[in-house]
Amino acid sequence: MSVGLDNAEFVQLAEDVKKLTSKPDNDTLLKLYSYFKQATVGDNGTDAPGVFDLTAKAKWNAWKELGGMSQDDATLKYIETARATIAKHG
C-alpha cells in the first residue's frame, strides 16, 4: 500500500475534507491533522510551540501522541476518519 501523499485516495480525501459543508468538532479536526502529519512526515520531531499558542499546542500534542505509529497505519486511520467525517459533514 502506498502511504500519505503517494496514496490517491488519501490525497482525494484530504482535498474533500477542505470542502465540508459543516465544521467537525475539534477532536475530529485534531485526529485528521495528526493522522495526516503522521502519514506524510512520520513521528513528530519538532519543537513544542509556546504555551500561549493553544491551537498550535493542541495540534502538536495530538501529532506527538501518535509517535511510533507507522505511516501505513496513519494513512489508513486518516482515510477511515476522513470518510466518516465527510459522510457526517459533507
pLDDT digits (tens, 9 = 90+) for 7-47: 999 999 999 999 999 999 999 999 999 999 999 999 999 99
Q: Give the model's pLDDT for residue 1.
A: 76
Mind listing the pLDDT tens digit for each residue in 79-89?
A: 999 999 999 99
Confidence band for 50, pLDDT divided at 50, 70 and 90: very high
Q: Which residue has the higher pLDDT, 1 or 3?
A: 3
Indicate the average pLDDT of the chain.
97
pLDDT at 61: 97
DSSP characters over 4-24: GGG-HHHHHHHHHHTT-SSPP
pLDDT at 70: 97
Helical pair 71-89 and 26-40, crossing angle rounded to 10 deg: 150
Say if CB 59 and CB 53 are below 8 A apart. no
pTM of the predicted model, to two decimals? Answer: 0.95
